[in-house]
Amino acid sequence: MDAAEIRDRVRRTNYVTWRRQGGWDPLVVTRAEGSTFWDSDGRAYLDFASQLVATNLGHGNQAVIEAIVAQARALPYAAPSFATEARGRLSEALDRVLPDGLDRYFFSTSGTEANEAALKIARVVTGRRRVISRRRSYHGATAASISVTGDPRRWPVEPVQQVPGTVFAPDCYCYRCPLGLTYPDCHTACAEVVDEMIRTTGDVAAMIVEPIVGTNGVIVPVPEYLPRLREITRRHGVLLIADEVMTGWGRTGAWFAVDHYGVTPDLLTTAKGITGAYVPLGLTATSPALHDAFADRYFPHGHTYEAHPLTLAPAVAAIGEYERLHLVERSRTEGAYLLERLRGIAERHVSVGEVRGRGLFAAVELVRDRATRAPFNTAEEKLAGRPLVVDKVVRAMASEGVYAFGWVSHLVVAPPLIIERAELDRGLEVLDRALVVADREVTGGTSG
């Protein structure tokens, strides 16, 4: 097929995620290397979003590719009831990098499935039904995971697919405090509300959180927030689930975002960067106590591709590459540079309300009015398929060969952890120019 045939066939016959199907005109991607990918016309794009905050190792890492090939030759599949070398080696490698006390593993094929497993484990072990989540959250697309998702992707399926029992807590979002308070005088009221919710809701099995909110704005909590949640949940016997699908694998300048806060959850879920996204793998890691609860109890979960050897072998190689290339440390140092540059860019643009982030994981929040912090667009407008200002900025960046990721009214900046300083500078220069598009929406077309 030539590029036109590929595009036409895919558009006519495939579903595409999280959007109206009409009007989709996908780029045909043909190859990728390092922090760059190319389209069918041979045009190069700097990947400033790691695709979907997933290709942490960049594109074309040979160690991971060779692990996939070697495993495919040796043992491309084994049923979940068997032990394999890949399973043993990955379990050993995970012991090195996961927070202490999380050394029991269930392998799946996505972050959604990892969260589905975590929620089921929590409910079965505790015998309770309810889960506390947060309003600006995304945890997956299956029945239980979408039910604990706070963002608008839940809304269209809520009447038909929701698993009952979720209650939503306020976020630790100081720029738009849902309680109308100001840090530090608030005494972290957003965490204290959880204590009240557990006591008054009753029957709470778990609380699930993204330690640093992902798609919904890279919202970094204040230092005492997660430790306080850990204290509250532990005191009430409520399990704490950390969803590290986006924030894991060096993305925030630590192996996992909870490491920044000295917090060990009862369950940790992850995917994406565990293999650099070269093959689909999800992980649900738990404490030994939760694993022991099933010693003489039926474990009511599983699937055909659990612990698939072709997904496990590249994860072993990926962990080795994170270590060999010192990518966790690199994310930390380059992330500090990224934030410094973004703050300088923000000062030049009336459309930027706030920049925030940790490691190579940042967001640029766009506003119509800095004084009122009014966003350009809303979740309702996105679901309705209306034009979004952030999408105009993304298109402006693409026109200069930089691929960016926008959501409702903010940009997510999350390049591969291998990105070179010169590439980072180029992406930021393009972002700086593209933000003029949003500035003109504020000034009525007079900016720039």
pTM, to two decimals: 0.97
Task: Give whole-number Cα distances, 46 to 39, 384, 429, in Å.
Answer: 11, 30, 12
Give the pairing type, strands 204-209 and 130-134: parallel
335 or 443, higher pLDDT: 335
CB 98 within 8 A of CB 257: no
* 225-235 helix and 189-201 helix, angle to the nearest 10 degrees: 20
pLDDT at 387 over 80: yes
Over residues 129-139, the mean pLDDT reads: 97
Distance CA 405, CA 52 (A): 8
CB 281 within 8 A of CB 64: no
pLDDT at residue 290, rounded to an integer? 98
- Indicate the average pLDDT of the chain: 97
Tokens 């015998």, residue located: 127
pLDDT at residue 448, rounded to an integer? 47
How many residues are listed for the chain in this entry? 448
CB 379 within 8 A of CB 407: no
Over residues 25-40, the mean pLDDT reads: 97
pLDDT digit string, tens, across residues 288-332:
999 999 999 999 999 999 999 999 999 999 999 999 999 999 999
Rounded to 5 degrees, φ, ψ at 401 are 80, 30
pLDDT category at 446 given cuts 50, 70, 90 is: low
* Percentage of the chain lying above the pLDDT 90 cut: 96
Q: Output the DSSP codes for 75-128.
A: -S---TTS--HHHHHHHHHHHHHSPTT--EEEEESSHHHHHHHHHHHHHHHH--
pLDDT at residue 444, rounded to an integer? 82
Domains of the chain (ranges plus CATH)? 3-60+326-443 (3.90.1150.10), 62-324 (3.40.640.10)
Rounded to 5 degrees, φ, ψ at 424 are -60, -45
pLDDT at 230 over 90: yes
Distance CA 166, CA 379 (A): 20
pLDDT at residue 159, rounded to an integer? 81
pLDDT at residue 263, rounded to an integer? 98
Task: Give whole-number Cα distances, 417 to 8, 33, 331, 348, in Å.
Answer: 34, 13, 6, 27
Residues 6+ away with beta carbon under 8 Å from 358: 212, 218, 220, 252, 253, 257, 260, 335
pLDDT category at 204 given cuts 50, 70, 90 is: very high
**Rg (Cα) of the chain, in Å, rounded?**
22
pLDDT at 447 over 80: no
**Residue of 336, 348, 358 whose CA lies nearest to 429:** 348
Over residues 402-419, the mean pLDDT reads: 97
Q: Which amino acid is at 300?
A: P
Distance CA 329, CA 184 (A): 29
pLDDT at residue 162, rounded to an integer? 79
Beta bridge partners of 207: 132, 240
Distance CA 127, CA 177 (A): 34
Dihedral, CA atoms, 303, 309, 312, 317, nearest 10 degrees?
Answer: -170
CB 380 within 8 A of CB 408: no
What is the greatest pairwise CA distance in the chain?
70
Q: Hey, how many other C-beta atoms are within 10 angstroms of the C-beta on 393? A: 24
pLDDT at residue 363, rounded to an integer? 98
Distance CA 65, CA 376 (A): 42
